[in-house]
Structure formats: structure tokens, C-alpha cells
Amino acid sequence: MRKYFKFELSPVSKILLSFIALILIGAVALKLPFSTRHGISFVDAFFTSISAVCVTGLMAVNTATHFTQIGKFIILLLIQLGGIGIMTFALSIFSLMGGSLSLKWKFTFENFYADLKYNPIKILIRRVVIYTLSIEAISAAFLFTAFNKDFPFITALKLSVFHAVSAFCNAGFSLFPDSLISYQDNPTIVITIALTVIMGGLGFIVINEIINRIKPANRKKRFSIHSKLVITTTIILIAVGMFYFAISEWNAAMRDLDPLTKLLTSFFQSVTCRTAGFRTIDTVFLREGTLCFMMMLMFIGGSPGSMTGGIKTTTVAIIILMVVSKLKGEEQIRVGSRAINHETVFRGMTFVVLAIGFLFISTILVITIDKFGKHHSMLTVLFETVSAFSTVGLTLGATDQLSIAGKLYVSLVMFIGKLGPLTLLMSLNSRATTSNFNYPEEQIMIG
């Protein structure tokens, strides 16, 4: 009779449960007396844990002043595990045990890591771990040269490792009370963290292709369409974001800074507001137009298969290409000499519509749950909600004003923002069907 009642969780369910388990373990660990200096409520510990695992960076309490060295190490561990992903760690353990993947798991990982179709899983896992540790180590080494000028060796080493991991995982957690505002005029720290954030936001597939092209034998090989779209869109977004931020805040929030620091700040905020959440300027003093532009960048986020949230750079690129092709009267959506599958476009549009709807409803719910002041309350809450959904971590100060119910709901927004795209992708794949007949078409008016 046992075989008739056999219950097996789907791969997506196992991934979700793994994340939930890690979040709860992290919350319990942060709640322990030795993790904080003056104690912490379980809700704040849970909020911090889910923010770290989902590599968001929103904080119910200040990381630098509230947590002990042990608490900070727990947060660092949660960031690393959440950044690389429970899937990768579960797969690593499974591979080391000598097991083999079931067909369900293979399809799951093929959809998340495109080049799995061409490389064995163990090789992919090895690359993920090596790339992560290597980039974080190089970043930490550069940061150490700057931090060691202001702090003793051990302290500088801790700061370097923590910020390198937080930057590559696009978490935005900092061990300084003001994030990185105190180092806004330090090119070594600003540029190192910005480049580390960019690498973490590209995705392992793109990083792998870039590293392979460095080899002399592979220099003539072409990048995949995926990598071309990711790299091109990322460069354009950084350049446009930097230009807008500089124009908008040059004589406003940045009026007291020297020209070089203004350029560094513009570049850094353009990079970090899409993915990471570090700050080299206080967002509270930014103009409303700048905040709205930053929300657009946060909504876009990073790239598929990376540490980031948002609707992803490739989704935006595909939608823009679709609009261009329609304006040209072309049936196919082309990138050079290749066409993009229409099903991919429909999935991207579906995700964008669902994301916008979810953010709209979430903003209303947060405003309903917590009463904020009338001055810019809508903008403040919308900014907070977009930041949570896109796992960015920038805030206008609403996080510490949230009630218990508000913090729990924002925690849910972070969780959905981190795992929603993968869950939606698997759901769309599992429900995809082909029909043997077509219904008659009819025209409706649009516009």
C-alpha cells in the first residue's frame, strides 16, 4: 500500500523549502544572545536572516552596531549561501555523494543554467565555486590595501572579506553604520566594490564565457546571444544611470563634493541601485526624479543566473527588441543573424506584467498595514517595496518604521523577489502544452 501513498516533492518545492530552512536556521542563530550586543526580537532576527539569504540588504537593525563578531559572521555565511544558491550547494553535496540527478532535477537546472546542456553538472558546480571564491578573494585583496591604512591588520582583513562577499553576492550589507558614505572619495574602495557588484550581477554563464575568451585558442569564438544581450544591456544601463545621476544631482545632493568624487558617486550609484544596495550618498537627500529613475533601474535588476533580483536585463532587452521589430514591421525578433523564440518573449512579458501587478498590490498593502506620514509616503513605500522585490536593499528610512506585520510582509516580498522568477519559469515550463488545433482569430481595437 505504501507505493500508492508515495509523496515526492517537486524540485522547485525542495528549493523553496531549502531556502525557508536556511532562513529559519539563520533567524534562530541571530536570535541567540552571543549574536547581538543588546538582544534582538525574533521578528528582527527573521527579517535580517531573510534579507541576508535573499541577498537584499534591507535592515531592521544596523548591522555594524547591533551585531557581535559572531552575529556578523552568521550574516556573512547566510549571504554566501543565499548568493550562490541553495540549488548549487544541494547539487554539490549530491554530486560529492556520488549520486546522479533525476530527470526532474536535470530539467530544473538546465532552465536555470543554460550551458548545463553542454557541460556535466560537476564541472558547472566546480566553476561556480571557483569563480565565486576567486572573484571574492581578488576583491578582498584590493579592498584590504585601502582598509589596512585605517584599521589594524585583522580588522582590515575582516572588513575586506565581508564587503567582498557582500558585493559579489549583491547583498549590500556593510559593516559601516553609513554603508560606504565615509569612503565615497576613495577610488580603490568605490571602484573595486562596483566592479565586484557588476561581476556578481552578470551571472555565471556570462562570466564563464568571458573567462574562456581570454584564452588564446578561444579569442575568435563568438559570444552567445545571451551573453551579448547581458553585456550590452548592462553597459548601457550603467552609462545611462551614471549620466542621469550626475546631471540630476551634480548641483543638488552632490553640490559639496569635488568633481572626481561626483563622478565616482554617479558611477557607483548607477551600479549599486540596480543590484546591490550599497550607498556612497544618503538616498534621503536625493531629488524625487532621481529616486524614480533609481526605482526603474532597481526594477530591471541584474541578469539571469546571477545573484540579483529584478525582472532581469535580458527581459528588458527582449521587450525592447520586440518593440523595434514591430515598428519595423518584422515578424521575427532578431539579434544579429539569430532570431529569438516567441515563447521566450511571452514568458518575459508575463513576468513583467505579474511583477508590476505584485508591486502595485504590495505597495497598497504596506501603506494599509503601516501608517506613514503624508509627506512623500507613497514614494517612500513604493521605493521600499521595489527595493525589497528586486533584492536591492536601498531605503528611504521606512524599514525601521515598519510594524511587525509590515516587516513580515516585506520579508515575503523579498522572498518572492528572490525565488519568484525561478518558480514562475518552472511553472510555465511544466504547464506548457501543444494543441492539435487552432481557434479562429478575431481582431480587437488597441490604443
Give the closest residue to 200 by CA, choosing from 126, 133, 281, 120: 133
Task: Kindly tell me the sign of the dihedral angle through the C-alpha atoms of 119, 419, 191, 137.
Answer: negative
In this prediction, residue 98 carries a pLDDT of: 47
User: Do 129 and 74 share a structural domain?
Assistant: no
Within a domain: 108 = yes
In this prediction, residue 99 carries a pLDDT of: 47
In this prediction, residue 240 carries a pLDDT of: 96
pLDDT band for position 423 (50/70/90)?
Answer: low
Within a domain: 344 = no
User: What is the SS3 assignment for 177?
Assistant: coil
Quick one: cell of 178? 553609513
Lowest mean pLDDT among 62-71, 91-100, 339-348: 91-100
User: Do 85 and 213 share a structural domain?
Assistant: no
User: What is the SS3 assignment for 396?
Assistant: coil
Angle, alpha carbons 217-221-223 (nearest 5°): 135
- For cell 535580517, the residue is 48
Phi-psi region of 98 (alpha: psi -120 to 50; beta: other; left: phi over 0): left
User: Do 172 and 279 share a structural domain?
Assistant: yes
In this prediction, residue 96 carries a pLDDT of: 46
User: Do 260 and 144 share a structural domain?
Assistant: yes
Q: Decide which of 100, 118, 136 is a domain's last residue.
A: 118
Polymer length of the chain: 447
Within a domain: 124 = yes
- Better-scored residue on pLDDT, 221 or 6: 221
In this prediction, residue 79 carries a pLDDT of: 93
Within a domain: 198 = yes
User: Do 247 and 128 share a structural domain?
Assistant: yes
Q: Which helix (H) or strand (E) holds 114?
A: none
Q: Which helix (H) or strand (E) holds 228?
A: helix 225-249
Digit-coded pLDDT (tens) for 118-169? 556 667 777 788 888 999 999 999 999 999 999 999 999 999 999 999 999 9
Average per-residue pLDDT for the chain: 84
Quick one: cell of 279? 550607498
User: What is the SS3 assignment for 338?
Assistant: strand
Is 326 a residue whose pLDDT tops 80? Answer: yes
Within a domain: 372 = no
Q: Contact, 241 vs 265, CB < 8 A?
A: no
Distance CA 34, CA 407 (A): 23
User: Do 27 and 64 share a structural domain?
Assistant: yes
Within a domain: 106 = yes
User: Do 150 and 91 share a structural domain?
Assistant: no
Distance CA 420, CA 428 (A): 12
Q: Decide which of 56, 86, 118 is a domain's last residue.
A: 118
Task: Kindly tell me the sign of the dihedral angle through the C-alpha atoms of 28, 36, 417, 223.
Answer: negative
Distance CA 400, CA 380 (A): 12
Distance CA 52, CA 76 (A): 8
Q: Which structural domain, as residue segments, surrounds residue 268?
A: 120-285
User: Do 142 and 230 share a structural domain?
Assistant: yes
Q: Cβ neighbours of residue 275 under 8 Å, at least 6 residues apart?
A: 170, 197, 200, 201, 301, 302, 307, 308, 309, 310, 392
User: Do 80 and 57 share a structural domain?
Assistant: yes
User: Do 161 and 187 share a structural domain?
Assistant: yes
Q: Contact, 132 vs 152, CB < 8 A?
A: no
Distance CA 420, CA 435 (A): 28
User: Do 57 and 194 share a structural domain?
Assistant: no
Number of structural domains the chain divides into? 2
In this prediction, residue 208 carries a pLDDT of: 82
User: Do 240 and 136 share a structural domain?
Assistant: yes
Q: Decide which of 118, 143, 167 is a domain's last residue.
A: 118
Q: Cβ neighbours of residue 59 under 8 Å, at least 6 residues apart?
A: 48, 51, 173, 393, 399
Is 265 a residue whose pLDDT tops 90? Answer: yes
Distance CA 206, CA 263 (A): 27
Digit-coded pLDDT (tens) for 94-126? 444 444 455 555 555 555 455 555 556 667 777
Distance CA 240, CA 237 (A): 5
Give the closest residue to 388 by CA, choosing from 367, 363, 413: 413
Is 202 a residue whose pLDDT tops 60? Answer: yes
- For cell 549583491, the residue is 170
Lowest mean pLDDT among 211-220, 256-265, 293-302, 323-332: 211-220
Question: Environment class of residue 446 by beta-carbon count within 10 Å: exposed (0-12), middle (13-18) or buried (19+)?
Answer: exposed
**Residue 36 DSSP label:** B
Distance CA 44, CA 59 (A): 8
Within a domain: 385 = no
**Residue 335 DSSP label:** E
